Chains A and B, each alone.
Chain A
């Protein structure tokens, strides 16, 4: 799904702690070699030579098309919170406050799909903007810029619309019949388990070992 969302972009950048978006991006690159994938925290062969500000300078100039952001909380206004909730402190906003409004296609990504993660209103707005999509472990939403509301696009295999309603803390629109998210093809799965897992393992060794046994 991540590879499909990146679509025909020329340059996708991946920030901190994003092994799943990184996997999707490298999967797409294995099929579309012209795609540029810049992994901000790459340990070897990092794409940047001007220090950690270069990612933001590139984004500010419009040289990055797609970026992924997550959040301890994400709300129905598409605001994200990386700072604090329910008395708990999280790491902090990282570059989100800047990246979200300047990147043309920001994809919100949160694996956990629950009322704890998807809330009516975030406690702290780390960043706000107009996302391209919200992808969770259970469903895909698009963003309706004018109405400022999410719209359910598809539900991942094994989940139902009722379950999505029950587990989502904010209101959203949904078509009469909601489609099922397409599963990866056999070819894509083979790529994910092979070369992509290997590519990811250098920077996310724990993730690669846990998910792909790489």
Chain B
């Protein structure tokens, strides 16, 4: 989130966002701030806070390009990239209008089947940049992602990976057998930067939870362009990190 807020302050333009496999609060902020040209995603939503208001309006007005996908198609496309193969097949999906909306997806015969067996093929996705927030980074340049393995897949597939982190740990987490299975090794990571409470108002497991009240406040405020602008002024431009009065 900290990088998202910085991108808005720097007036980034023309970003193409990939949801792994969905987009949420970060994307809605970037879209509302005019930073985004295109999204590829299975959905954009604020979870229990409801529809993502800036995405919804931009989509209805045709202000951004949307490449609609489905969750496992995005996971599969990233897994193809992390293996270095040009495509991978995926079951299901046939019969959905998503298929005809995606010129880059192909339905082909399963080459190993005796009878007719059409199957969807999706091309590999190698994002230019993977960006996420982690609980720990260490002195060896590793980051700890825990069970969030889709983050590892994303980093393996991406050309560059940039990470903000909550706390710096001394030493090398790969030397700790309990931590190591949750580590994304430094080989994939181009740069890390500290950002305490950097995920706020989203959460970091066991450190701080999702700020549901703040997300609900955002969902209401961002229903109008003016309300969204006031939100940016208060929480992005002034770098305030809670909903409490100053």
- Please name all residues of chain A whose beta carbon is closer than 8 Å to the beta carbon of B90 when the two chains form the complex: 98
CA distance A20 to B137 in the complex (A): 39
CA distance A17 to B59 in the complex (A): 21
CA distance A54 to B149 in the complex (A): 9
> A residues 23-54 with Cβ under 8 Å of B?
41, 43-44, 46, 48-54
Confirm or deny: B212 has a beta carbon within 8 angstroms of a beta carbon on chain A: yes
Q: Kindly supply a per-residue 1/0 record for chain B positions 72-109, scoring 1 wherever the CB is within 8 Å of any chain A CB and 0 otherwise.
A: 11011001000000000011111111100000000000
- Please name all residues of chain B whose beta carbon is closer than 8 Å to the beta carbon of A83 when the two chains form the complex: 68, 97
CA distance A102 to B153 in the complex (A): 24
Q: Which of A48, A52, A101, A204 contacts B21 (CB 8 A)?
A: A52
Confirm or deny: A92 has a beta carbon within 8 angstroms of a beta carbon on chain B: yes
- Please name all residues of chain B whose beta carbon is closer than 8 Å to the beta carbon of A146 when the two chains form the complex: none
Asked if A95 contacts B70 (CB within 8 A), the reply is: yes
Residue of A51, A54, A129 with highest tally of chain B CB at under 10 A: A51
Q: Which of A102, A124, A205 contacts B91 (CB 8 A)?
A: A102
- Please name all residues of chain B whose beta carbon is closer than 8 Å to the beta carbon of A43 when the two chains form the complex: 203, 205, 209-210
Task: List the A residue with the shortest CB-CB distance to B41.
Answer: A92
Residues of chain A whose beta carbon lies under 8 Å from any beta carbon of chain B:
16-17, 41, 43-44, 46, 48-54, 56, 60, 82-84, 87-102, 124-129, 204-207
Q: Which of B48, B69, B72, B152 contacts A56 (CB 8 A)?
A: B72
Q: Which of B48, B68, B95, B153 contacts A92 (CB 8 A)?
A: B68
Q: Which of B49, B70, B150 contacts A98 (CB 8 A)?
A: B70
- Please name all residues of chain B whose beta carbon is closer than 8 Å to the beta carbon of A97 when the two chains form the complex: 70, 73, 92-93, 96, 98
Q: Which of B42, B60, B151 contacts A51 (CB 8 A)?
A: B151
Q: Which of A44, A52, A126 contacts B75 (CB 8 A)?
A: A52
- A16 CB to closest chain B CB (Å) equals 7
- B178 CB to closest chain A CB (Å) equals 14
Asked if B96 contacts A93 (CB within 8 A), the reply is: yes
> B residues 102-131 with Cβ under 8 Å of A?
none
- Please name all residues of chain B whose beta carbon is closer than 8 Å to the beta carbon of A44 when the two chains form the complex: 205
CA distance A56 to B212 in the complex (A): 27
Nearest 6 interchain pairs by C-beta: A51-B149, A92-B43, A51-B150, A53-B75, A95-B71, A89-B59
